[in-house]
């Protein structure tokens, strides 16, 4: 008896996501942040805030009775020359849909970064320490989709998105330009871009910005 639904392809298609699955990721992220707000205190840093958001996403998932996916903690990747050479890096939040179960390389990566209008250091890190890891294939190598979650400490989100888009274009060329797409009622902005990984594979990145100015 097969463990996969008959209409689910085998092999590398496990890296793919349907439109509904992409929408589900955005919805879970936005609902999770909204549910987490009471527990996010002023001045809370990125890592503890993300832990709170991840736990809230799990509660939202149970409330919505979503049994076709699982939300995991930090996802460790191997062989990066860091302080711990056995670890390539840690993706903040990962999900797996049913067709990805059983394959540790098949996951949905969500990298979280603090950003803000005029906060050039944080906005630079969003690209250099977030987007760039998808481009190099350190995160989501060969995957069809990746996600960035931007915690906007200083609105407006449109100014943040413009600053980040400018930096992405300067770094990766005009073909990497971000475009606004259908948003979410709980998101400050949602954008989309396409980047080329080192292998020549193209990965689609969805950028979800949520206002968290009270955490500044």
* C-alpha–C-alpha distance, residues 150 and 175, integer Å: 22
The residues of the chain scoring below 50 in pLDDT are 1-11, 79-87, 214-216
Phi, psi values for residue 11, rounded to 5°: 75, -145
**Positive or negative CA dihedral for 66, 67, 72, 75?**
negative
**What is residue 5's predicted lDDT score, i.e. its pLDDT?**
38
**What is residue 212's predicted lDDT score, i.e. its pLDDT?**
87
Phi-psi category of 152—alpha, beta or left, where left has phi over 0 and alpha has psi -120 to 50? beta
| Residue labelled with tokens 């076709």 | 68
**What is residue 72's predicted lDDT score, i.e. its pLDDT?**
86
Which residues sit opposite 75 in a β-bridge?
91
* Residue-wise burial string across 188-210, b where 16 or more C-beta atoms lie within 10 A, e elsewhere: bbbbebebebeeeeebbbbbbbb
């Amino acid at each position: 008896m097969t463990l996969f639904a008959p209409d689910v392809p085998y092999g590398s298609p496990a890296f793919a996501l349907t439109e509904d699955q992409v929408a589900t990721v955005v919805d879970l992220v936005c609902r999770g942040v909204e549910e987490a707000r009471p527990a996010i205190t002023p001045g809370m840093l990125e890592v503890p805030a993300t832990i709170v958001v991840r736990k809230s996403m799990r509660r939202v998932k149970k409330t919505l009775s979503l049994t076709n996916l699982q939300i995991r903690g930090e996802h460790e990747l191997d062989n990066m020359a860091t302080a711990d050479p056995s670890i390539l890096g840690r993706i903040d939040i990962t999900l797996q849909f049913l067709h990805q179960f059983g394959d540790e390389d098949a996951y949905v990566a969500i990298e979280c970064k603090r950003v803000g209008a005029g906060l050039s250091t944080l906005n630079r890190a969003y690209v250099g320490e977030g987007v760039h890891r998808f481009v190099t294939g350190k995160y989501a190598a060969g995957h069809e989709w990746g996600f960035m979650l931007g915690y906007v400490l200083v609105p407006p989100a449109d100014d943040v998105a413009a600053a980040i888009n400018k930096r992405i274009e300067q770094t990766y060329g005009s073909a990497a330009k971000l475009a606004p797409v259908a948003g979410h009622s709980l998101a400050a902005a949602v954008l989309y871009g396409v980047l080329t990984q080192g292998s020549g594979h193209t990965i689609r990145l969805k950028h979800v910005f949520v206002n968290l100015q009270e955490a500044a």
